[in-house]
Structure formats: C-alpha cells, structure tokens
Structure 1
Amino acid sequence: MGVVAGVLVALDAAGTLLGPVRAVTTVVFMILGPGWAIAGFLRRSAPALVWAVAVAVGCAVGGLGAQAMLAAGWWHPDAALVLLVLLCVPALVWHVVRRR
C-alpha cells in the first residue's frame, strides 16, 4: 500500500492528480510511507508495535520536515514530498520483494 501511495504522491507532485484524490494520497503516504519504510525492518514484533512505529515515524518525519523547511526559508512542499518518495519507495519495495 505504501508503494502505491508513493507512486500516486509522485504523480500528485507532478500535477496530474487533483482534488480529494490528491489530499487522500498525500495524507496516507505522509503518515504510512516513511513509517512503513522503517517499521518493515522490525523483526518478529507485535503488530500493534509495528503500526505504532509506522504512524509515529510518519508523523515525526512530516513534522520535522515542515519545521526544517520553515527554518531554512525553503518552503517547497511538493519538492520535499518528491524527495521523501524517492527516499522511501526503495525501502518499501525492498520489504515487498523480501517477503516473497
């Protein structure tokens, strides 16, 4: 799901998605994408812990990324979103491929 949301967010940043689809894909990816990229490395953990780590990491990355953009005076959320997709999708694909 994270890989699909990442691809949709990349299309979104390119300007091809509009309206509620754009909002939903961005929120889903920001909450779950970075978190699942990290939580996928947890071995034999309880599902509740994996979900908690995934959501916590996603929220932290979003908040810290926004704060860094504000502090640096570089407010380009679309570019930051594409950068985040480029960083997260390879790890998400790795987790999908590794499980098969």
Structure 2
Amino acid sequence: MERQRLDKWLWHARVVKARTSAAALVEGGHVRVNGIREKAPGHAVKAGDVLTIGLDRNVRVLKVKGFSERRGAAPAARALYEDLQPPGLPKPPE
C-alpha cells in the first residue's frame, strides 16, 4: 500500500476514536498536509507527508511512516507515524 485516505489514516493511527470524527476534523479545516489545509477526507496521504492537526486545543505534527489495513492496538498505531512535536511544547496525552 503506497497511499491511504486521510480520514482512514487518522483513524488507524488512533489520532481520533472514530472514522467519522476524522472526516469531520478534516472537513472542518483542522488538518494540513505538507502545510496546505486539506478539506477532503478522501485525500490520499503517502509516506513522508507531514500532517499538522489541530485537536482539542493542541497541535500535533506527525510524519506519515506507514499504513495499516486495519485499526490495531496503540503500539501498532504509533508505528505508523513519527511525532515531530516541536521541543518545549507539551505532548498530548495518549
């Protein structure tokens, strides 16, 4: 798999609890892909893309490292991305 829908990737990476929440997050303009605001949940992301996500008064910066066919446990979800959170900012609770 080389690409995956943005909403599906956010759900598989456990950024949100439900795929519908992921779609709403994207449609609401709270997700940027490589610095460009994305409003289409079906936008395809690829390995190396950097996602900036505004979520619950926090900003998460994640680099896409891989994809999953299914939503798995938290350790498997963390393998899908690299957290690029700037130093000095608190990391959101997991």
For Structure 1 versus Structure 2, the TM-score category normalised by the shorter chain is: under 0.3
With normalisation by structure 2, the TM-score equals 0.28
The structure with higher relative contact order (CA 8 Å, sep 6+) is: 1
With normalisation by structure 1, the TM-score equals 0.27
